Amino acid sequence: MTHDHSRRFAGTVSLVTGSSRGIGFAIARRLVDEGGAVVITGRKQDSLDAAVAELGSAATAVAGRADDPDHRAAVFAHIAERHGRLDHLVNNTGINPVYGPIVDIDAEAVRKILEVNVVSALDWTRAALAAGLSRSVVNIASVAGLGASPNIAFYGISKAALINLTAQLAYELAPGIRVNAVAPAVIKTAFARALYEGHEAEASAAYPLARLGEVADVAGPVAFLLSDDAAWITGQTLPIDGGAGIRPLV
């Protein structure tokens, strides 16, 4: 038996948060390319308008802050009016406003990172469930959540919490809703630029596959985890790390 992956999302509606550019946009584009309708979000209307223009008629957008309850309400009202259904949710929104030792981090930054990277993911999921979410959730975590992460330590702590949230939600929402996560390493986006700009060759050398990740390297696995091809997978976090996790310890 063969499977036509080009139309895996035909007839479905997905919400991808934080998706006007970068990884979120690549995920939205992959879902549209495979036949789905998407609703994307982000803070800036002009960036969202440009993204929708590129994605085509299968995409619509609602602008706002991820941690704003009124924005979430507006998104789900839009989905109800335009589509009348919601099949998949991708919690992609994340921030990292600080860089440096964890002992020096400002307490207000700590609260903001947790609010956007963890609490809002839970809030989006709960609101999606109330709006009739029917199939699957994928959270965008990070390899920073799987171990020590110098200079981005509290970002890593927030992603560790998101990974655990993924497992807890998967347990509570089974069997009706599957919940998984991906944990990318350094992906060539504006968000991660400080981690490779000016020394990309050196940064790439840390990976057995000898390059940094591209946004498409994340979009493909996310599409798989959302799809029925992953129908017996829930509560898992998939590292997308160019083989970094297999590096020898000595």
Catalytic residue chosen out of the listed positions 99, 155, 171, 207: 155
* Long-range contacts from 158-164, C-beta under 8 angstroms, 24+ separation: 158/94, 158/113, 158/114, 158/117, 158/118, 159/94, 159/117, 159/183, 161/114, 161/117, 161/118, 162/91, 162/117, 162/118, 162/121, 163/139, 163/237
Here the tokens at position 243 are: 């083989």
Q: Is 155 a catalytic residue?
A: yes
Q: Tell me, what DSSP letter sits at residue 57? A: T
Residue 201 CB neighbour total at 10 angstroms: 10
Residue 85 CB neighbour total at 10 angstroms: 15
Q: What are the φ and ψ backbone dihedral angles of 68, each rounded to 5 degrees?
A: -100, 115
Nearest CA to 92 among 39, 18, 182, 9?
Answer: 18
Active site residues: 155
